[in-house]
Amino acid sequence: MTTAPSVEEQLAIVDAELNRALMGTTKFNEKRIPVVRGTFARLLNNVTLLTSDDTDLPILEIGSDGALASAKVLHKLTGLEVVASNLVVGGLADKVGDYPIRIHQNDIGALNFPDNSFSMLYGRAVLEHISDMDDFLAECDRVLEPGGVLYLDGGPLFHSPRGHHMAVRGPSGTHYGFGKMPDLVPNWCQLDSNEDEVFAHLTETKGVDADDARVIAHYIFNSPEQNRMSASDVIAAFERSAFNNLSYETMQMKKFVPPPHLVEQYGEFDLITNGLAYFVTTGPKSAEPVATSVATPAATPRETTSAPARPLWRRIAGRIKRSILR
């Protein structure tokens, strides 16, 4: 009987595949390697992946990256075919190489596949982009085979310090992303101001080009690319779903101290939680899940902030291991 590989052995596969797919391409891709590795470390520490010895059904990656790096890792870890889906698929076929990866054009909120089509659903950085979470999770349940595995994560969530989720290019050609925005807009500006106030702040205080400032301000408050959900909103949607055996981790920006008036309005949990990772293994109902917090950016471990209390009638299970992002 073949012994299942350890998490350390699986992470060695992850490292090799990420280096093969991303190293030496662009500086942006190279910077993503430890981030994507962290995603797989979280996944492998919380669920046991099905392999080609267990099933012949493929894996669906929801929102595939442009290099198909995650899809390639998923195949190497399981031996299964991967369906790489995205709304924009231009150029993805050129990245397939010798991997059994199928490209599928699909909106993130609608899974146009038959029932019980997949052994696993994997979606990295997707939870903040799904417009109707209830319908989406119902679709996930429909297309996942009994006994299958689901992994979904996302962030920063809208109520967190940088929940504006800025990633846009202005008319001037300047790209305004996560790295640039902390110097330009106050934390929680999306909750504590409006579009006109952010525009005025950018132009009058920060000297941002007016056309760029208008695009930024409009994106923060009106972009259809984010659903403006809080961590509690997402957790509640999973509780309403048909999934039973589930668990989750929270990623929290504990170095930020929310303004008291926002704490009173929204609660501290949602104001510092900028990410969620959900693990689902389909099966019978069991015990209640336990939330684990991970401080981000990496820091000395701090006291865990608990998630909102789970309803007693909702008995759902899963195993969460405490980990601190490094």
Section 137-147 average pLDDT: 95
Check whether the bond before 260 is cis (ω within 30° of 0).
no
As annotated, the residues of the chain forming the CATH 3.40.50.150 domain(s) are 7-158+228-295
Q: Which of 228, 242, 239 is nearest to 308 (CA)?
A: 239
Strand ranges for 101-260 from DSSP E: 101-105, 118-123, 144-154, 168-169, 175-176, 246-252
**Residue 107: per-residue pLDDT:** 79
CA 17/CA 72 separation, integer angstroms: 7
Average pLDDT score, the chain: 87
Q: What percent of the chain has pLDDT over 70?
A: 86
Section 48-52 average pLDDT: 95
Residue 91: which region, alpha, beta or left (left: phi > 0; alpha: psi -120 to 50)?
Answer: left
- Asked if residue 240 has pLDDT above 80, the reply is yes
The pair of three-digit structure tokens given for residue 215, joined into one six-digit string? 């695009």
Q: Alpha helices, DSSP H only, in the chain?
A: 7-22, 27-44, 69-78, 133-143, 189-192, 195-200, 210-222, 231-240, 260-266, 268-272
Tell me which CATH homologous superfamily contains domain 7-158+228-295.
Vaccinia Virus protein VP39 (3.40.50.150)
